[in-house]
């Protein structure tokens, strides 16, 4: 009872969750790991990464950026495209700045990465010279954001809700002295330089994701808890920045281009054209599920690609009849 019979080379896990009205929902996640060669060929990896059951962070939870989010969720309206990578100078020759680029199907994103430098101490705002680099991690700790807790009065303290682990955010200009200048920035208009830039997932308590959770006030605690708020928005489940969400779901086969995020300089391949199928035995019924590609995770430094598919089946008051789900390759 309540098991997943996995006939794929990937990892597959099932669990129960509840939807917004409190109904029981059976969720199955299938996670496939692939190896990407420099010639663009993609093969099933010998080592399959497990379905993620709890968030994984780059450092101390709550004080560092998130690397992997929970895979066992339901109701995500779009495919998240995530990338963990380093800005890598072509040919290993040090550079002071470098443009990095990612394209997956219709999802495109470009950043300018600049070597380490800091704001100087002094009467006027100035910066130290930019240091050349060969490799810089593309993480939110090196993008605009952070906290300013220097003032004695808490009312004059603050933080960047979109990226509290970054650098460059201050409430008072003088607090910027000796602070690291963000390495990773959007190009273009000046206001975009004060916007967190990254390819990684957004933590659930960061904005704008946190606002999609809805209103968790006293009325909710008294009348609905532990159910989701009435104004809950399923976009809360999206872990990628908004410009890395492919609405309508990716299908597999989409072209991928990665520039200056690996030693190869430019890497091109297509997402594998694979799609698992799922059928659930419940009572005397066999229910075939639609299964969607919820997450694509690119890790060019490790020559690795991960794809996570999901299906959900509402079975309130029938969960005791659910025998198993069978996952096969299409």
What's the pLDDT tens digit per position in 275-287?
Answer: 999 999 998 889 9
Cα–Cα distance measured from residue 203 to residue 150, given in angstroms and rounded to the nearest whole number: 25
Strands (E), 115-215: 135-137, 144-145, 147-148, 158-159, 167-168, 184-185
Cα angle, residue 195 at apex, residues 190 and 200 outer, rounded to 5°: 140
The domain limits of the chain are: 1-77+248-255+273-288+304-330
C-alpha distance from residue 317 to each of 23, 25, 155 (Å): 8, 10, 50
Instruction: Give 126's pLDDT tier (boundaries 50, 70, 90).
Output: confident
- Residue 89 pLDDT exceeds 60: yes
Quote the pTM value: 0.94
Look at the alpha carbons of 167, 168, 174, 179 in this order and tell me if their dihedral is positive or negative.
positive
- Report the distance separating Cα 186 and Cα 198, nearest Å: 9
By C-alpha distance, which of 226, 162, 242 is closest to 194? 162
């Amino acid at each position: 009872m309540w098991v997943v019979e996995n006939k794929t080379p990937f990892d597959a896990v099932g669990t129960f969750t509840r939807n917004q009205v409190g109904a029981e929902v059976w969720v199955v996640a299938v996670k496939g790991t692939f190896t990407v060669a420099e010639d663009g060929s993609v093969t099933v990896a010998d080592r399959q990464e497990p379905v993620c059951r709890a968030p994984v962070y780059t450092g101390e939870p709550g004080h560092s950026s998130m690397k992997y989010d929970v895979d066992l969720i339901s109701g995500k309206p779009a495919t998240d495209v995530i990338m963990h990578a380093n800005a890598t100078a072509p040919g290993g020759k040090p550079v002071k700045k470098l443009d990095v680029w990612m394209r997956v199907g219709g999802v495109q994103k470009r950043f300018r990465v600049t070597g380490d430098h800091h704001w100087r101490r002094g009467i006027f705002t100035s910066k130290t010279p930019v240091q050349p680099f060969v490799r810089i991690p593309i993480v939110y700790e090196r993008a605009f954001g952070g906290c300013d807790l220097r003032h004695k009065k808490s009312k004059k303290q603050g933080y960047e809700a979109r990226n509290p682990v970054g650098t460059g955010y201050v409430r008072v200009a003088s607090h910027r002295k000796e602070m690291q200048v963000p390495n990773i920035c959007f190009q273009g208009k000046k206001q975009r330089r004060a916007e967190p830039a990254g390819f990684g997932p957004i933590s659930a308590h960061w904005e704008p994701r946190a606002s999609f959770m809805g209103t968790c006030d006293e009325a909710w605690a008294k009348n609905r808890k532990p159910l989701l708020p009435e104004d809950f928005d399923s976009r809360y489940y999206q872990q990628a920045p908004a410009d890395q969400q492919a609405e309508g779901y990716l299908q597999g086969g989409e072209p991928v281009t990665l520039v200056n995020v690996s030693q190869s300089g430019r890497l091109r391949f297509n997402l594998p054209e694979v799609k698992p199928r799922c059928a659930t035995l419940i009572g005397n019924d066999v229910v075939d599920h639609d299964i969607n590609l919820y997450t694509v995770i690119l890790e060019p430094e490790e020559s690795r690609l991960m794809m996570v598919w999901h299906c959900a089946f509402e079975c309130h008051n029938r969960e005791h009849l659910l025998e198993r789900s069978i996952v096969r390759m299409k």
